[in-house]
Amino acid sequence: MTTKLFSFFSAAGFLALGFETEGYQVAFVNKYLPAFLDAYKHSRRALSMEPPEYGYYGGSITDFFSQPTLGSKLTHQVKQARRDGSLVGFVGGPPYKDCFSFLCIEAKLCKQIS
């Protein structure tokens, strides 16, 4: 069974890349700062990894809640990731892990995903 991860706040992406080298599939990546997104994309290329299935988003996590179209797109992607029986997880690195926790995702997205 595949586990697909949606990665948020992961700086240069070492947390997400570590999961991927251990067999998880990083399906989506959100980076706030363009320099970190560029670094992450460079790391994937250097490691000969394909881009994430659902691509990249360069902006604030709050955009997914404040922009209905963007939030709906993320919800659709999570549902789509689950269709083949894959487990879906959310990971995020410092400094925002206290703000963006699994409970935050549960409260906001699971109502839409179920």
- The CATH number linked to 81 is 3.40.1010
- Looking at residue 8, what is its pLDDT? 84
Q: Residue 74 is which amino acid?
A: L
Q: How far apart are CA 71 and CA 112, in angstroms?
A: 10
Each residue's pLDDT tens digit, 19-41: 999 999 999 999 888 888 999 99
Kind plus residue range of the DSSP H or E element containing 43? helix 34-46
Give the range of the structural domain holding residue 25, as residue numbers without chain letter.
3-113
Into how many domains does the chain fold?
1
Does residue 111 have a pLDDT over 60?
no
CA atoms within 13 A on the CB side of 105: 20
Average pLDDT, the chain: 82
Q: How far apart are CA 10 and CA 29, in angstroms?
A: 8
Closest CA to 30 of 13, 45, 17, 44: 13
Distance between the two ends of the chain, CA-based, in angstroms?
20
Each residue's pLDDT tens digit, 28-75: 999 888 888 999 999 999 999 999 999 999 988 888 888 889 989 999
